[in-house]
Amino acid sequence: MLASTYLSPPFLPLHHTATTTTTSALLPLLSGDPNRRHMSGPVLLKAKTGDGDGRADLPLPSRRHAVLGVAKILFAAANERSLRCMNQAAHGRSITGTFTGDLLVGAMAHSWRVLMQGLTSLVFLCTRADEYVRPPPSPLVLTTHDKPAAHPQQVHISVVGTNNMRISWVTDDRSAPSVVEYGKSRGNYTASATGDNATYRYFLYKSGAIHHVTIGPLDPSTTYHYRCGKAGDEFTLRTPPASLPIELVVIGDLGQTGWTASTLSHISGADYDMLLLPGDLSYADTQQPLWDSFGRLVQPLASARPWMVTEGNHEVEALPVLQFAPFVAYNARWRMPHEESGSRSNLYYSFDAAGGAAHVVMLGSYVDFEEGSEQHAWLERDLAGVDRRRTPWLVVLLHAPWYNTNQAHQGEGEAMRAAMERLLYEARVDVVFSGHVHAYERFTRIFDNEADNRGPMYITIGDGGNREGLALKFIKDHKSAHLSVFQEASFGHGRLRIVNETSAVWTWHRNDDAYATVRDEVWLESLASPKLVMETAGRRLDEL
Q: 251 with 268: CB under 8 angstroms?
A: no
- Do strands 209-215 and 492-498 pair parallel, antiparallel, or not at all (unpaired)? unpaired
E strand or H helix at 308: strand 307-310
Task: List, as one string, the DSSP characters of 102-157.
Answer: HHHHHHHHHHHHHHHHHHHHHHHHT---SSSPPPPPPPEEE----S-TTS-EEEEE
pTM for this structure?
0.79
3-state secondary structure (DSSP) of residue 325: coil
Signed CA dihedral, 449, 450, 456, 459: sign only: positive
pLDDT at 80 over 60: no
| Mean pLDDT value of segment 76-105 | 44
Transcribe 453-478 into DSSP letters.
Answer: TTSPEEEEE--S--TT-----B-TT-
pLDDT at 42: 41
Rounded Cα distance, 432 and 491, in Å: 19
Q: Are 258 and 139 in contact (CB under 8 A)?
A: yes
Question: Mean pLDDT, to the nearest integer, of 463-479?
Answer: 94
Q: What is the C-alpha to C-alpha distance for residues 116 and 122, in angstroms, rounded to an integer?
A: 10
Rounded to an integer, the average pLDDT of 237-257 is 98
Residue 433 has what pLDDT? 99
Contacting residues for 479 by C-beta, under 8 A, at least 6 apart: 449
Q: Which amino acid is at 327?
A: F
- Give the CA dihedral 87, 91, 95, 100, nearest 10 degrees: 20
Q: Indicate if the pLDDT at residue 441 is higher than 90.
A: yes
Indicate whether 418 pLDDT > 70. yes
Q: Mean of the pLDDT values across residues 152-165?
A: 97
271 has a pLDDT exceeding 90: yes
Summary mean pLDDT of the chain: 81
In this predicted structure, the answer to whether residue 131 has a pLDDT above a threshold of 70 is no
pLDDT at 41 over 60: no
| Cα 32 to the center of its chain, rounded Å | 17
Contact 189, 179 (CB under 8 A): no
pLDDT band for 17, please (50, 70, 90 cuts): very low
Residue 12 is predicted with a pLDDT of 25
Residue 374 predicted with pLDDT over 70? yes
Residues with catalytic function: 409
| Partners of 521 in the β-ladder | 507
d(CA 21, CA 117): 12
Distance of alpha carbon 443 from the chain centroid? 21
The Cα 408–Cα 462 span in angstroms is 11
Confidence of residue 140 (pLDDT cuts 50, 70, 90): confident
Neighbour count for residue 328 (Cβ, 10 Å): 22
Contacts of 370 (CB under 8 A, 6+ apart): 376, 415, 419
Name which residue leads in pLDDT, 513 or 329: 329
For the segment 472-489, what is each residue's pLDDT rounded down to a tens digit?
Answer: 999 999 999 999 999 999
The pLDDT score that the predictor gives to residue 380 is 98
On the CB side of 175, CA atoms within 13 Å amount to 0
Query: With 60 as the cut, is the pLDDT of residue 259 above it?
Result: yes
Q: Kindly give, in sequence order, each residue whose CB lies less than 8 Å from that of residue 380, ignoring residues fewer than 6 positions away.
A: 423
Average pLDDT on 25-35 reads 31
The whole-number pLDDT of residue 515 equals 83
Q: Each residue of 272-324: pLDDT tens digit?
A: 999 999 999 999 999 999 999 999 999 999 999 999 999 999 999 998 767 67
Pairing of the two strands 349-353 and 209-215: unpaired
pLDDT tens per residue, range 167-197? 999 999 999 999 999 999 999 999 999 999 9
Instruction: Enumerate the β-bridge partners of residue 437.
Output: none
pLDDT of residue 320: 73
CA–CA separation, 160 and 151 (whole Å): 25
Confirm if 116 and 467 have CB atoms less than 8 A apart: no
Q: How far apart are CA 6 and CA 185, in angstroms?
A: 42
Nearest to 510, CA basis, from 492, 494, 522, 495: 492
The dihedral of CA 446, 448, 454, 456: what is its sign? negative
pLDDT value of residue 531: 67
